[in-house]
Structure 1
């Protein structure tokens, strides 16, 4: 009797899981169908001849674009690539190629650290899906350019050229922001396709020092760590876009989860897996995370013990704005992390799926034809700088689509990553 009951329970669980997977397969299909329509609407609005890349909307709801030299131009072509990958829509592929190829001049750009965002989200996906050797060569040159910002004394890649402290008039000349973890994937790629281990060495050393100096003991993260280029020692730990130096900026935590998960994929070093899991657990189990899993822009905003700098606009903001962009990044990261964690994998995947369902709800996903034709609403750029508050952001859309693509592969029992073509 007990064995029969156990068998019935197992069958029931299998059938429930099957029904849930089938339901989420339909959920993913509907979201990509919506995204394809919204992206095609945006393609009609943007002017490729002016090299104007979508970034957000202004207070009047009108599209805000940037030049290719901003940190965000790679996300729009990247979104087009993900939508093409799912739908096999020839119109989206053509647009993705065109918008990607306009970024080729950036392969020699060295003025800031964001080449991973700019080139790997665009050309990286382009090469993955087409195998075009010209794309590979551009990515390798981009990695060379990024490598020029590495300093062997600090053991890190320099993020911004300078960082002016919110406190007094102090200026730092070697700031490293947690976002920089996202650029390391470009270096790992270049090492893999060329056999040049210097790229890989830079990536691992940067990740190791970030793990050591930018991740706190409780697995929260500092946004900005500044180094002394003479001694290599830490000269300051502050924030630029978070609420306070000792607070946890939600998107910064998201970059950290994603970055260390990716570095574990490339190295299989258990230290990086442990760090990724710790960062993820901090995010998932924080007492200030709302029930729908979409975080406030900073986990400690408006709390006692967390004080913004004297020039920061954060001290005047009392509304606890959500940041859908942080949620989208974490959802994508957790889909990958779920495949590496032996004890928490199921929990990570389920949490990511819950986040995706929240993001796709009317509270965060824009009605078709609205929101400047961006997919998600309610993201935050930088409250301390009083810019991009409660608006769509192009990178929120990119990571939302990436998370959906990863979830689709997992539901189909496929691997998230295939060997890189050399």
Structure 2
């Protein structure tokens, strides 16, 4: 594993030089489809993952050209610190500036994270006791998606590093509301809970990217696993640890989880075992399981670490990991963005790379 991790980071450094060539000024990379790079404006929810991946690569390789590209990527997304149009400021600004600050201790990076937390906090409303994910539309009144758990990391960190105490309080309240309403008895998660904006009552439990309202969308289960593991890290609340372990057991014991432990895009997808895989969900799960194993003992610790190892070895294999100069410069193949919307099916995705690199870095830090 030590050699694999070293090789994968060296490969990532070389491969991302190809990726960088396909990014127009002022845009951020998303995927590579039909022989073409797909890049989006900085307010797209994935805009922070490229910079974050570069910082992970620099941390392991000490390649100064990667660091320079990472710094430039931060400048592109810096205006997002005052953006309040969605709940994804954590993805956008903590995965990027959080890693940058962790490695450089530059006060200006910390200030941007704090300002971003303030922007995210504007989407919290006390009557619902949750941060609104998407704006009101013809589909939703006050939608909260399981993905939103991931953005709470920035709020926790901001409070713990000198910011307003309200940030962490919001993260805890949001987590408790989600714990109450998002989960089924088997620890699987709905994708979207639509609330009544006036009184916080649940109006509908639904999906946007899953196979059905009642299905277990794979990446949604990954967000839930990661989110409650992370919330336990910041709060040491035993209910969060219980939830994370329950989600982990749901995933790992599911009869539709393939032997290589890279899930189908939905655990209830039509056409299994011929359904599309989602390498991004596998990468997120691997990273989360490595952390969860830190908080458990004996049998569970071995189970979670071993499952993460299988996922990492699978993702590093020729089945999922691209060859140098191919795949548009992205590391991983075979991710699925939104299958029901016919969007990003069986393609590389920037966040799959990010959580894969994070999983590799975490394994090295905690287990080698």
Q: TM-score, normalised by structure 1?
A: 0.85
The answer on whether the counterparts of 1:163 and 1:175 sit within 8 Å (CA) in structure 2 is no
Aligned counterparts of 2:47 and 2:140: Cα–Cα separation in 1 = 27
Once the 2 structures are TM-superposed, how far is the Cα of residue 163 of structure 1 from its aligned partner?
5.2
Q: Decide whether aligned partners of structure 1 residues 347 and 33 sit closer, same or farther in structure 2, where only a CA change above 3 A counts.
A: same
The alignment status of 1:292 with 2:269, answered yes or no, reads: no
Once the 2 structures are TM-superposed, how far is the Cα of residue 94 of structure 1 from its aligned partner?
1.0
The answer on whether the counterparts of 2:315 and 2:321 sit within 8 Å (CA) in structure 1 is yes
Superimposed CA distance per residue, residues 304-352 of structure 1 (whole angstroms, 9 cap, x where no aligned partner) = xxxxxxxxxxxxx995000000000000001111100124112111110
3-state SS of paired residue (2:341): coil
Deviates more, 1:95-104 or 1:285-294: 95-104
Aligned counterparts of 2:183 and 2:20: Cα–Cα separation in 1 = 40
Please point out which of 38, 42, 65 is paired with 2:19. 42
Once the 2 structures are TM-superposed, how far is the Cα of residue 162 of structure 1 from its aligned partner?
2.9
The alignment status of 1:208 with 2:176, answered yes or no, reads: yes
Please point out which of 213, 226, 242 is paired with 1:274. 242
Aligned counterparts of 2:8 and 2:183: Cα–Cα separation in 1 = 34
3-state SS of paired residue (1:217): coil
Aligned counterparts of 2:140 and 2:21: Cα–Cα separation in 1 = 43
Partner of 1:307: none
Partner of 2:230: 262
Aligned counterparts of 1:335 and 1:238: Cα–Cα separation in 2 = 30
Alignment of 1:368-407 (within 5 A): 368-407=324-363
Partner of 2:157: 189
3-state SS of paired residue (1:56): strand
Aligned counterparts of 1:143 and 1:219: Cα–Cα separation in 2 = 29
The answer on whether the counterparts of 2:27 and 2:76 sit within 8 Å (CA) in structure 1 is no
The alignment status of 1:325 with 2:302, answered yes or no, reads: no
The alignment status of 1:339 with 2:294, answered yes or no, reads: yes
Partner of 2:31: 56
Where in structure 1 do 4 or more consecutive aligned residues deviate above 3 Å? none
Aligned counterparts of 2:284 and 2:105: Cα–Cα separation in 1 = 26
Aligned counterparts of 1:61 and 1:329: Cα–Cα separation in 2 = 26
Superimposed CA distance per residue, residues 218-249 of structure 1 (whole angstroms, 9 cap, x where no aligned partner) = 00000000111222111100000000000000
Partner of 2:304: 348
The answer on whether the counterparts of 1:185 and 1:263 sit within 8 Å (CA) in structure 2 is yes
Deviates more, 1:128-137 or 1:92-101: 92-101
Larger radius of gyration: 1
Aligned counterparts of 2:220 and 2:285: Cα–Cα separation in 1 = 10
3-state SS of paired residue (2:189): coil
Partner of 1:105: 79
The alignment status of 1:177 with 2:145, answered yes or no, reads: yes
Once the 2 structures are TM-superposed, how far is the Cα of residue 195 of structure 1 from its aligned partner?
4.7
Q: Decide whether aligned partners of structure 1 residues 197 and 213 sit closer, same or farther in structure 2, where only a CA change above 3 A counts.
A: same
Superimposed CA distance per residue, residues 274-301 of structure 1 (whole angstroms, 9 cap, x where no aligned partner) = 0000001101110000111010000011
Once the 2 structures are TM-superposed, how far is the Cα of residue 45 of structure 1 from its aligned partner?
2.6
Aligned counterparts of 2:265 and 2:81: Cα–Cα separation in 1 = 32
Once the 2 structures are TM-superposed, how far is the Cα of residue 101 of structure 1 from its aligned partner?
2.0
Deviates more, 1:33-42 or 1:126-135: 33-42
Q: Decide whether aligned partners of structure 1 residues 411 and 325 sit closer, same or farther in structure 2, where only a CA change above 3 A counts.
A: same
Partner of 2:167: 199
3-state SS of paired residue (1:210): helix
Superimposed CA distance per residue, residues 252-288 of structure 1 (whole angstroms, 9 cap, x where no aligned partner) = 0000000000000000000000000000110111000
Please point out which of 220, 231, 237 is paired with 1:252. 220
Gaps of 5+ in 2: none
Q: Decide whether aligned partners of structure 1 residues 260 and 25 sit closer, same or farther in structure 2, where only a CA change above 3 A counts.
A: same
Q: TM-score, normalised by structure 2?
A: 0.98
Partner of 1:66: 40
